[in-house]
A and B are shown apart, each in its own frame.
Chain A
Amino acid sequence: AQTVTQSQPEMSVQEAETVTLSCTYDTSESNYYLFWYKQPPSRQMILVIRQEAYKQQNATENRFSVNFQKAAKSFSLKISDSQLGDTAMYFCAFMKRHNFNKFYFGSGTKLNVKP
């Protein structure tokens, strides 16, 4: 079975600073995808970034980047130049390749960006 662990229930960061959210997962699969989703107070789930396990290069999307360590089964999200609009719950998710896109979500990290 796949499990996804986010060990930081809540974090705070000052506006314009950098913050890293951690995520670890457990799987015996070799081909899979990892995602970070953002859920602002409006409760919408918004895809932030995705990483394919067979790619060694870390994914980046503007101010968002990941540190993917496949051997360590670690997938952290770095947010640079934090903005007030980044305040949200962040969920890490794992998906086995070719498995009907079934996701396994972590319990989430609540990020507060302070002015």
Chain B
Amino acid sequence: SQTIHQWPATLVQPVGSPLSLECTVEGTSNPNLYWYRQAAGRGLQLLFYSVGIGQISSEVPQNLSASRPQDRQFILSSKKLLLSDSGFYLCAWSRRVNQPQHFGDGTRLSIL
């Protein structure tokens, strides 16, 4: 069966510090991968998605970037965090076309 791992579960970082959140998928190959942000009490905002190694599509301009160095690895990064980057970040994967997305457990990011 397929599983998705996302870490860390919780992260507290100072303003201006770098960020690296990692997501890996097991049990499948060549998945579509996604990063979402969920602000408190709100829905999900798609940040990035990837259909293959090295292929990243950005949905909104922001302080974050994403990379996919391996087929089943998706990394969310920032060089300098802002207060507005606080939130709950979810990684998700799906098989190819017309399949639902499956989510990781999320990372709660607090910026101080």
Q: Interface on A for B, CB 8 Å cutoff?
A: 33, 35, 37, 42-47, 50, 91, 95, 97-98, 100-103, 105-108
Q: Does the CB pair B43–A100 fall under 8 Å?
A: no
We find that the number of chain B residues with CB closer than 8 angstroms to chain A is 23
- Would you give 7 A-B contacts (Cβ < 8 Å), ordered by A? A37-B103, A43-B88, A50-B100, A100-B49, A105-B43, A107-B42, A108-B42
How many angstroms between the C-alpha atoms of A107 and B42 in the bound complex? 5
Q: Interface on B for A, CB 8 Å cutoff?
A: 32, 34, 42-44, 46, 49, 51, 88, 90, 92, 94, 96-103, 105-106, 108
Interface of B is mostly: strand
Q: Does the CB pair B49–A102 fall under 8 Å?
A: yes
Closest 3 A/B residue pairs (Cβ): A45-B103, A107-B43, A101-B94
